[in-house]
Structures are given as structure tokens and as C-alpha cells.
Amino acid sequence: MKINRREWIRLASLTGAALAAPRAFAQKPEPLFVEIPPSVSGITWVHENAMSPTRYLPETLGPGCAFLDFDNDGWMDIFLVNSGPSDFWKPSQPVRNALYKNNRDGTFTDVTAKAGVGGEYFGMGVAVGDYDNDGWPDLFVTAYGKCILYRNNHDGTFTDVTEKAGLATPGWTTSAVWFDYDGDGKLDLFICSFVDYSGVKKLECGSNQIGKNYYCVPRLFKPTASFLYHNNGDGTFTDVTKGTAIASALGKGLGVVATDINNDGRMDLFVANDTVQNFLFVNRGPGANGQWKWDEIALQAGVGFSEAGRPRSGMGVDAADLKGNGWQDLFVANVDHEFYSVYENNKDETFRDVAQGNGVARATRLMSGWGLKYFDYDNDGEIDLFLANGHPDDMIDSYSMQVKYREPLLLFHQGADHKLHDVSENAGPAFQRDYAARGLAVGDFDNDGALDVLVGNNGAAPLLLKNNAAKGNNWLGLKLEGVTSNRDAIGARISWEAGGKVRRMLKTSGGSYLSSHDPRVVLGIADATIVDAVEIHWPAPSKQVDRLTKVGPNRYIHVVEGKGIVASNDSHTQKSAGQANS
Amino acid sequence: MYKAILLLIASLSLVNFGVNALAQSAQLSPQALVQDAIEKQRAGDLEGAVTEYREFLKLHPEATAIHSNLGAALAGLGRFEEAVGEYKIALRQSPRLPGARLNLALAYYKMGRISDAATQLEKVHAEDPANHQAVLLLGDSYLRMGENKDVIRVLAPEEKKYPDDVAIAYMLGTAYIRNKQPELGQVLVDRILRNGDSAEAHLMLGTAKMGIQDYAGARDEFQKAVALNPNLPEVHGLYAQALHLTGDSDQSNKEFKAELANDPYNFAANLQLGANAREDENYDAAEQYFTRALATRPGDPGARYQLALIAIEKGKLDAARETLESLVKASPQFAEAHVSLSLVYYRLKRPADGKRERDIVQKLTADAQAKQPGVKQQ
């Protein structure tokens, strides 16, 4: 289905108006996010969760989703992960992932078959990264069964290079993250491993309170070690897990984010585990024996357990400089009655959970959280928070008075008090409905500078939400391209000055749950009319700092390490406006 | 049935005045003062009685019975701390003074110091095994303390003597159920049920259903019990627990608060509301709840652990460390306490100790994982 841009805008606004009508009578504000239904977007793919009477656990954990520009046309495309054949399920009809090409008019076209990314196994999540630094995003799809690395062929097709790359990872993998842990300019890969689910054909957990099989609590299953692969730079990877703290930390990983919690310039890893403690792997650099050294410090850092010393059911995760103080804060979404955690960085490799003071604890008391993202949804320059929720047990409504299987989305806005405030009630009709949400990706699919949201729903169609909340605020979009540093510039530090305020951010990688975000960076500048300065500290091995001055807002600029702005998507680009490299 | 215990608590302080003993102890010159005090006490002028007893005791501090009478008057005024002091003086001077120990136990009971009450009641029971009222109170105290085996030890012989006493049947039946002896509990439940639909019967059935993790069934039984007798001890607290376990936290909290309105020292209510207050970062309120919980069950590891967590939040790391060290020494398998102790050691810049505790946590975690039943093999 293709329609022109004008028609799409008309339909989108009609949809929003129709959905918002009951609220209009109540004089509610305009929705912050508006659903773009499949009939408009053309995204008709539906997740098959393979739900069986036996209730095999993988059925309830997917799916992940991603925004990526696979064809490098400057418009975000969409990838959706599906289940598939496994040792407990043989689909009666073909089941496949979906790759949707952005038609640049708000509609998408399914190009999965041509791209060759339909998958063969019981898919879970996706991590997008340019591991071969060729300028084209590649896909790593995790699964129960076997992961797949799809290398981008630059022509709209992909090739499964998993075996050749040495990434044939066993077991049940969930979230994965591309990042450059050793600063050699090449993206390495960390893969979360969930539980030991071997011998699955024989598994069931007995009946629940209403006499039916239910999804086993992961506590029952043995924990496993996650995987760290080093990028050899020749299209292959080496498993470097052995002998590190990553190998000895047996967990049940579901979410991972790569960030730098101690500002030492090395990317660390925060892993959310289900029913066992979370892990915070701090990157200590090369050890004396030549092996990379990682310290697992979650307990002493105060992010491993609840304040009452209990492991929680960590699922979604993220990191961002919430208060703009130059230090990365963390977030973990847990299961109902465990509260989600807002971990504020104490700047000494410890954290304090401030979920209660932010109102996040109270709002999430009955929720189970998966996909999530810290981002500035209204471009006012402050980091906000978007949460996708849903209980893993599809029968929970039958024996819980308050907890529901399908749960609403939650949106928090950071106020002038630097606290997160729940604004879900006024965020739009999409926030009044309930979902079995899992993955969540953030990306600007219509290139208007307002970051949109894609939610992967278990056993249902994905939800595409167009962001209307940033209207009136100005912004600057950056597509960063590393040269000596990794091409995706993961680990870059960006500061920008506008309207008399200096703000900063770290380009993290991963986060959310099973999902991958738009790789571009949007800098919110509120009502400032020009960005006075942008400074980009490129990650190792580069020591390059690029400084751009007097940059016009409301456009995406393509910045190359050491070269400054090389392109802009806007005719108002001021290419000569005070670029300076240092 | 259970009203008998409540009436006993209300009345005992008045029936043990020991006027005869007073007449023997008091000197002639202040006798009028004492007689007047007694009359005032009988007439309900407790403040006046307290004043005159104290006047008298200035002259004759050795008057054992007057200390006991003063204790009773103070207890009548709700000044239990002072009453306990007077009873203790009386018992120090005359350990077998009639009624004084039972009154001391009652004062402790009303202060929520259930464990201290039980200690005194055990002595009363040893000295006077036929004292049915003391046995009832002792059984009730042990039930509140969660010492089900002691309830059975004390009340099982009593139940044989008083087979129609529904209060005994209720307490003993509850203890059997909680002690995982449902078949014995069922006999007593049936006896209560024969008397018709009663709050006690629903309470016991609910307790039995809790024991087999039928939380929804337990919730329904407790709800009926609340409707039939909202003043039944523990009824709101148990209903609250069932509501909590079936996911209705809001109503659960309301019921816990209702329980505390009936019994400010209910252990479970104080523990849960304290935990809620701590999660809400209302640490002062949380401390009050946990302190009251500890008054009912001194040394309870859960309540002490919660107080240690509050100490951590308040930055009182050494105080937290002391409590946690004591807890893990007494309960080496208390994984949460090891987690918190490790954290405290690291914050106190004692990384070697922190690592040691962390290693213990990892071992306990691995041991717990190894004990998981796994999954049923088809």
C-alpha cells in the first residue's frame, strides 16, 4: 500500500482526531503520541507467539523490534522479530520475521522476502550494528535455538553469515548489544543468555490456581553465562567470555545496555536478570595477562538486588544522563509488586534507587516492564521515559485482583524539578488501552525530529506511535559516522549549547528489551532558535573532538569524524557555519 | 468464645486488689489514707487512688501489696510502663504475691510485649496449673507470637478438660493448622461449625486454605469472618494477608490498618505496613511499625532486618552493620541479610569483608537454585 505524504498526514491526523474525540469533549489536551494503525502504515504483520496448552516459556517472552535504515536512504525502516520452528513447536503455517521499508510517506512496504531475513528459528530479539564498518547496518537476531547474523549486502538483501562469523551461539539468547569494549574501532557483541531450557520437549510446570498449565517461573531453570564476542576485523569474531567475570556470572539475562558508568572512557555493561541478581560489568581495560578485565560489581554498586536484598525479575533496562550532570544513570523494569528501579549515579561506582521519589515506583507497582527508553520525547532538552508493560502470565487475571496480563503504556516527563512525572493519562488514547507489550524501539520514522515509538506485542500486531509531543520545540538531529572510531560512533560524547544551556549525552548502545533504536541522535533545544555549539568527542581509538558552531535547528546533519558536517537533509543547511575540527 | 479472653483482659486488673493483704501491711497511722485510696479506686477515681497510694508508699515503701494496687490503678489509667514498674517491685519483695504476676503479664500484654507476657504467664501456669484464665491468655500469647507448638503444648490438655470451650477450640485448631497438622485442626473446626456459621469457623477455614496456598479461597473465608465479627482478633490481619497474596494491595493495606485499630501490636500488620512505609521512604513511620512488631515478637529476624534497612537508608551504617552481623550469625541462611551486610561493608570501605559476604550470597544463591524442584518430567 502506498499513499502520498499529504494523504498520509491527512489520514494520520484524522486517526488522531477520531481516537481523541472522547477526550476532546472532556477538554483533554492533544494526544502526545498517536497510533498509526496498520491500515495506514501498511504494517500488517502480526506476531505469532505459538501459545500452546503446555505453555512453553519462550512463547511469552517475545518479540523484539527495531528501527534501522537498512537501505541508507535516510529514512528509518522497521524490523520485527517472530517466533519460529523449535524443539517444542512446529508451525502449521510459515512464520517469519518482517522487514518493512519506509516509503517516506508514512507507509511501509514488506520487503522481507527479498531481503532474506525471515529467520529460521524461534526468534527473540534484534541488535542492529555496523560490525564491518562498511556504512550499512547489519542485523543480529537472537533466538531460542540459534542466533543469526545477517550481513547487509548493500542492495536490499542480507546474507546469513553466522557460522562464518563464529557467532553460532547455543541456547536461549535474548537481548544483545553492539559496542566497542576495547576501543579498537570495531563493534564487539555481547549477547544475553537466558536460562538452560534444554530438554524442552519434556517440560511443563504443572497447573496453576485455575487448574491449567502456566508459564514456568524462570526461578526453576538453571542460570547461564552470557557471551562476549570480540570483533576480529575480518568478518569473524572470537568468543572472549572464558576466564572473565562474564563467564563466572551465571544469570538469566533479559536486557542489556552498554554505557560508561564511571566516565573512564570504556564502555561498561549493565545486565537485567530475571529472578537472580542483575550484573554490572565494569570494563577495567586490558589485564596483565593480555586478557580484558571485567569486574562484576552490581551488589556493591547497589543495583544487583532490591533494597530489601532480594533479586528481582529484571527485564527491560536502559542508561542515560538523567539529570544532565555528566554521569550515566540506570533503569530496570521488573515484574509486578517489585517496582521498577531508577538508579541515580553517585559518581563513585555506586547508585541509589530513586524510583520512589520520582513517582515511578508507585506508578509501576502493579506493572511488569519490558521495553523502555530514556529519551527526550518533547525536545525540551531533558530526558523523559517511555515504558512498555505486560504480565508474562496470560492467565494472571484469573487469580489476581489487580494485576493484569495486558497493561497500559506509561510515559513520564521530566519536570523542572528534575523528577519524572507520570503523564500517561494525558498522553493519548494509546495509553488508555492495554497491551501484552514486550520489545520497544524509538526512532524518527517521519524525520520530523520527534522520536516515534514502536512496540512489539506478544501474539499481536506491533504498535506504531507517532510523536506529536515535540511540536513547538526545536531540535538538531545528528547522524554520526566514525572513521577511526567505530562507524556507528557508539560511545561518543556529545555536548551542545543552545538558549544559554549546555547539555550533554553519551551515545549508549542497546537498552530496552530485545530491541534496537534509531542510531541517530536528536538533541532537543526547546525554544532556542540556533544551536550555538555542538562538541563531539569521538570514542577510542579516536581522540578527535569535532566542534560545530552556529548550527541551524530542525534538521538532521551527517557528521563524520574529523570532517564535521558533510550533509544535511534540510535545504537550510549552513554548511559553512563555523565548522571547526580540533 | 473469644470474648472470654477479652473480658478477662478487661477485668483482671480489678479482681486482684489484694485488699486483705493491704490491711495486714499498712501501718495504723496511714490506714485511712490507704482505705481512701481503695475506695477511690473502686469508685473509678484512679488518679486520686494513684496519688494516695504514692503518698502512702513514701512512708512505707516495703508495703508490697500497695505497690501491686498502685500498679493496678496505673494499668487502669493505661500507664502500663509505670504499672509494670510497680508490679516488679511487688514481686521482687514478694514473688508469690497473689495476682501480681498475672497483672504484670496483663500489663505486658496490653503494651504489646507479648513475649514478656508469655514469660510471666508461664510462671503463673507453673505455680497454679488450674488457673484457666492464665492458660487461655498464655495460649493466646503464643498464638500471636507464632509459637504454634507452645499453643498446642499449653492448650491441648486444657481442651480435654473443657471440650465445649470454643475459644480453646479456636486457638488450638488454628495452631494445629499452622503447625501443619490439619487433620487435628479439622476436628476442632468441625466442632466450631456444629455451633453454626461463626467468624471463628471461617477464620480457621481461611487459615487452613492459606496453608495449602489457596489464597483466593482463604480470602473469601476471611471476608466472611470479617463480616460476622470484625472485632475477632487477627481477622483483619489475616484477611489482609490473603488480599495481599491475591494481588489486592490497596484493600490489603486497609485491612492491616483495621487490624491495628483492634490490636496495635498485631505482628503481621505492623510488619507489612512497616515494609510499605519503608518502600514509600517514610522511614520514621516504618520504624514505629517495626518497633511495635518487635514488641510482639522480640528478636524477630524479619523485623530486625527491616530496621537495619532503615538504618542503611538513614546512613547509620555502623548500627546497620551490628544488626546485620547479629542476624547472619543467628541465621546463616538469611540471604537478604548477607546481601545488605555485604553492601554495608563495601560502604564502610571494608572490601574484604564485603567480598566475603558477597561470596556467601553467591553460594546461598547457588544452593537455592540447586534445590529448585525443576520441572515435571512427562
Q: What angle (nearest 5°) sits at the alpha carbon of residue B121, between those of residues B118 and B125? A: 135
Nearest to B189 by CA among B221, B217, B161, B214: B221
What is the predicted pLDDT for the residue at B193? Answer: 76
- Cell digits of residue A110: 514488506
pLDDT of residue A373: 98
Cβ contact, residue pair B339, A299, below 8 Å: yes
| Furthest CA-CA distance within chain A | 71
Identity at B23, one-letter amino acid code: A
Q: Taking CB atoms and an 8 Å cutoff, what residues of chain A touch B249? A: 337, 365-366, 402
Name, in order, each residue with C-beta under 8 angstroms of B43's C-beta and a sequence gap of 6 or more. Answer: none
Which chain A residue has its CA at the smallest distance from B378's CA?
A202
CA–CA separation, A339 vs A342, rounded Å? Answer: 10
**CA-based nearest residue to A172, from A214, A225, A213:** A225
Distances (CA, A) of A553 to A379, A497, A572: 12, 12, 9
3-state SS, residue A425: helix
pLDDT for A2 equals 37
Cα distance between residue A185 and residue B9, in whole Å = 79
Identify the bridge partners of residue A480 per DSSP, sorted by sequence position: A559
Report cis status (omega within 30 of 0) of the bond before A63.
Answer: yes
pLDDT at A137 over 90: yes
More confident residue, A289 or A302: A302
- Number of CB atoms found within 10 A of residue B95's CB: 12
CA-based nearest distance A374→chain B, Å = 24
How far does the CA of residue A167 sit from the closest CA of chain B (Å)?
29
Higher-scoring residue by pLDDT: A266, B133: A266
pLDDT at site B198: 85
Q: Which residues contact A352 (CB under 8 A, 6 or more apart)?
A: A302, A343, A344, A346
Candidates A311, A509, A572; CA nearest to B362 is A311
A424 three-state secondary structure: helix
CB contact (8 A) between residue A402 and residue B279: no
Of B281, B351, B375, which has the smallest distance from its Cβ to A356's Cβ?
B281
Of residues B80 and A428, more confidence is placed in A428
Tell me the C-alpha distance between A313 and A306, whole Å: 10
Plot region of A2 (φ>0 → left; ψ -120 to 50 → alpha; else → beta)? beta
Is B247 within 8 Å of A305 when comparing Cβ atoms?
Answer: no
The neighbour count for residue A582, using CB atoms within 10 Å, is: 9
Find all residues with CB under 8 Å of B73, minimum gap 6, and list them: B41, B46, B49, B50, B53
Residue pairs spanning A and B at CB distance below 8 A: 91
- Tens-level pLDDT at each residue, chain B (378 residues): 344 443 334 333 433 333 333 444 444 467 888 888 998 888 888 888 999 999 889 888 988 989 999 999 998 888 888 999 999 999 998 888 878 999 999 999 888 788 899 999 999 999 998 898 899 899 989 988 889 999 999 999 999 998 888 788 888 988 998 888 888 888 887 888 777 788 888 888 888 787 666 788 899 999 999 999 999 888 999 999 998 887 777 899 999 999 999 989 889 899 999 988 888 889 999 999 999 999 888 889 999 999 999 999 999 999 999 999 999 999 999 999 999 999 999 999 999 999 999 999 999 999 988 877 654 444
Q: Strand pairing partners for A505? A: A494
Chain A closest-CA separation from residue B102 CA (Å): 40
Q: Which three cell numbers stand for residue A102?
A: 519506509
Are A111 and A118 in contact by the 8 Å Cβ rule? The answer is no
Q: Which position has the grid cell 489464597?
A: B215
Chain A within 8 Å of B374 (Cβ-Cβ)?
yes
Give the position of cell 477511690.
Answer: B40
Task: Decide if pLDDT at A23 tops 60.
Answer: no
**Structure confidence at residue A24 as a pLDDT band (50, 70, 90):** very low
HEC states along chain B? CCHHHHHHHHHHHHHCCCHHHHHHHCCCCCHHHHHHHHHHHHHCCHHHHHHHHHHHHHHCCCCHHHHHHHHHHHHHCCCHHHHHHHHHHHHHHCCCCCCHHHHHHHHHHHHCCHHHHHHHHHHHHHHCCCCHHHHHHHHHHHHHHCCHHHHHHHHHHHHHHCCCCHHHHHHHHHHHHHCCCHHHHHHHHHHHHHCCCCHHHHHHHHHHHHHCCCHHHHHHHHHHHHHHCCCCCCHHHHHHHHHHHCCCHHHHHHHHHHHHHHCCCCHHHHHHHHHHHHHCCCHHHHHHHHHHHHHHCCCCHHHHHHHHHHHHHCCCHHHHHHHHHHHHHHCCCCHHHHHHHHHHHHHCCCHHHHHHHHHHHHHHHHHHHHCCCCCEEC
Chain-chain contact of B354 with A202 (C-beta, under 8 angstroms): no
Q: Which of B280, B358, B375 sits opposite A299 (nearest CB)?
A: B358
**Smallest CA–CA separation between A317 and chain B, in Å?**
21
CB-CB neighbors (< 8 A) of A305 in chain B: 336, 339
Q: What is the pLDDT of residue A21?
A: 34
Nearest neighbour of B280 by CB, restricted to A250, A356, A403: A356
Alpha carbon of A264: minimum distance to chain B alpha carbons (Å): 21
- For the entire predicted model, the pTM comes to 0.79
Distance between CA atoms of residues A318 and A340, nearest Å: 12
Could you tell me if A485 and A185 are in contact, meaning their C-beta atoms sit under 8 angstroms apart?
Answer: yes
Name the residue type at position A47. Answer: H
Q: Rounded CA gap, B131 and A380, in Å?
A: 76
Q: Is the dihedral of CA A22, A27, A30, A32 positive or negative?
A: negative
Averaged pLDDT for residues A459-467: 98
Element of type H or E holding A270: strand A268-273
Nearest Cα to Cα of residue B154 among B129, B177, B174: B129
Three cell numbers at A44?
A: 500488517
Taking residue A567's Cβ as centre, other Cβ atoms within 10 Å add up to 14
* Lowest model confidence (mean pLDDT) among A66-70, A571-575, B90-94, B332-336: A571-575
What is the nearest CA distance from A297 to chain B, expressed in angstroms?
A: 10
**End-to-end alpha carbon distance in chain A:** 48
C-alpha distance from residue A318 to each of A190, A329, A341 (Å)? 15, 8, 10
pLDDT on residue B29: 60
Cα–Cα distance measured from residue A85 to residue A80, given in angstroms and rounded to the nearest whole number? 17
Evaluated on CA atoms B366, B372, B374, B375, the torsion sign reads: negative
Are the CB atoms for A575 and A496 separated by under 8 Å? no
C-alpha cell at B100: 501480681
- Whether residue A401 and residue B247 make contact (CB cut-off 8 A), yes or no, is yes
CB contact under 8 A, A403 and B247: yes
Q: CA-CA distance, B346 to B327, in Å (whole number)?
A: 18
Hey, are the CB atoms on A276 and B337 less than 8 Å from each other?
A: no
CB distance B279–A202 less than 8 Å?
A: no
- Reduced 3-state DSSP string for B63-113: CHHHHHHHHHHHHHCCCHHHHHHHHHHHHHHCCCCCCHHHHHHHHHHHHCC
The three grid cell numbers given for residue A328, joined into one nine-digit string:
550515566
CB A520 within 8 A of CB A444: yes
Cβ contact, residue pair A299, B340, below 8 Å? no
Residue B24, pLDDT score? 40
The contact set of A with B (CB < 8 A) is 202-206, 209, 216, 219-223, 250, 276-277, 299-300, 302, 304-305, 307-311, 336-337, 339, 350, 356-357, 361, 365-366, 399-403
Q: State the Cα angle at A490 between A485 and A493, rounded to 5°.
A: 90
pLDDT tens-digit series, residues A80-95: 999 999 989 999 999 9
Here the cell at position B58 is 513514701
Q: What is the ipTM of this complex?
A: 0.88
Q: What does the alpha-carbon distance between residue B141 and residue A341 come to, in Å, rounded to a whole number? A: 40
> Looking at residues A505-531, what average pLDDT do you find?
98
CB B106 within 8 A of CB B13: yes
**In A310-391, beta strands by DSSP E:** 317-320, 329-332, 341-345, 351-353, 369-375, 384-389
C-alpha pair distances (Å), B326 with each of B241, B312, B365? 28, 15, 21
Calpha distance A511→A513 (Å, rounded): 6
Distances (CA, A) of B249 to A336, A365, B273, B287: 11, 10, 11, 21
Mutating which of A55, A202, A300, A303 best tests the B interface, going by the most B Cβ atoms within 10 A?
Answer: A300
Count of CB atoms within 10 A of residue A15's CB?
A: 18
The percentage of chain A sitting over the pLDDT mark of 90, rounded to a whole number, equals 83
Q: Measured between CB atoms, which of B214, B369, B374 is closest to A223? A: B369
Helix (H, G, I), strand (E, B) or coil at A40: helix
The residue among A280, A400, A401, A403 with the most chain B CBs within 10 A of its CB, best to mutate, is A401
- Whether A209 sits inside 8 A of B216 (CB atoms) is yes
Determine the longest span between alpha carbons in chain B, in angstroms.
91
Contact B373 A220 (CB under 8 A): yes
- Interchain proximity B336–A205, CB inside 8 Å: no
- pLDDT bin (cut points 50, 70, 90) of residue A200 is low
Round to whole Å and give the CA distance between A359 and A367.
14
